[in-house]
Amino acid sequence: MSMDRGDTFRIAVMVSGGGTNLQAIIDAIASGKIRNTRIVRVISNRKDAYALERAAKAGIDAVAVSRTDYQDKESFEKALIRAVDEADADLIVLAGFLVVLPAELTDRYEGRMINIHPSLIPSFCGKGYYGLKVHEEALKRGVKVTGATVHFVDSGCDTGPIIMQKAVEVQDGDTPEILQKRVMEQAEWVILPEAIDRLANNRTVRDKT
């Protein structure tokens, strides 16, 4: 239990890439859209993730736990679990974290770990569906509406209880890159902060509104 716990809701954010969802959370806390909340740690599995720059600029404690620094998978996973546990967070937010989490972690944080996925689950999700691939598949299938989903993380891949979703229109001429950007701007960067605010302030997280 940390000494300065107070009543501030502590979140740890796990990242692997550009960190635009992390930035959306940082900005939402700064603007008051997310209340009574502090990011206590950013954890990346890649040392070169731009998300780490964003954390540094925001003065947030950040650690990189890179698989290449460890002899084997077990010691890497132990280090990752330690990095999360040390944060002593109330909520773990996966924001573009691309490593399959060890069951020990998803078990320990069940109900206190959420993920943002760039489609309307159960479409275009599961093993292999991440980043641009999600949008390529949506365009290939010819859906007219896609979007993003925030869900609790369980032991499966994109299978936990859904918290929030937001639909985004697919437009003529969309490329995967254009669609990805629209889904980020119009859905991911909106519902992830909103979901965090709901969890941080004990609002019902799965109501219809």
Q: Which is nearer to ligand GRF, 13 or 200 (CB)?
A: 13
Among 19, 147, 160, 193, indicate the residue that binds ligand GRF (CB under 6 A). 19
**In the complex, which residue's CB is closest to ligand GRF?**
96
Which residue in the set 96, 147, 160, 193 belongs to the binding site for ligand GRF (CB under 6 A)? 96
Q: In the complex, what is the shortest distance from the CB of residue 116 to ligand GRF, in angstroms, rounded to a whole number?
A: 5
Residue 66 contacts residue 45 (beta carbons within 8 Å): yes
Q: How far apart are CA 31 and CA 27, in angstroms?
A: 6
End-to-end CA distance of the chain: 34
CB hemisphere CA count around 115 (13 angstroms):
29
Q: How far is the CA of 27 from the CAs of 21, 139, 174, in angstroms?
A: 10, 31, 28
Q: Which of residues 106-135 bind ligand GRF (CB under 6 A)?
A: 116-118, 131
Considering only residues 166 to 185 of the shown chain, the ones binding ligand GRF according to CB under 6 A are 184
- The active-site residue, picked from 41, 46, 54, 117, is 117
CB of 74 to ligand GRF, least distance (A): 26
Alpha-carbon distance of 38 to 184, in angstroms, equals 22
Question: How large is the greatest C-alpha to C-alpha distance in the chain, in angstroms?
Answer: 54
Q: Provide the minimum distance between the beta carbon of 149 and ligand GRF in the complex, in angstroms, as a whole number.
A: 9
Q: What share of the chain is helix, strand, coil (3-state, %, to 5)?
A: 40, 20, 40
- Residue 8 or 50: the one with the smaller Cβ distance to ligand GRF is 50
151 is catalytic: no
Chain contacts with ligand GRF (rule: CB under 6 A): 15, 17-21, 51, 95-96, 116-118, 131, 184, 188
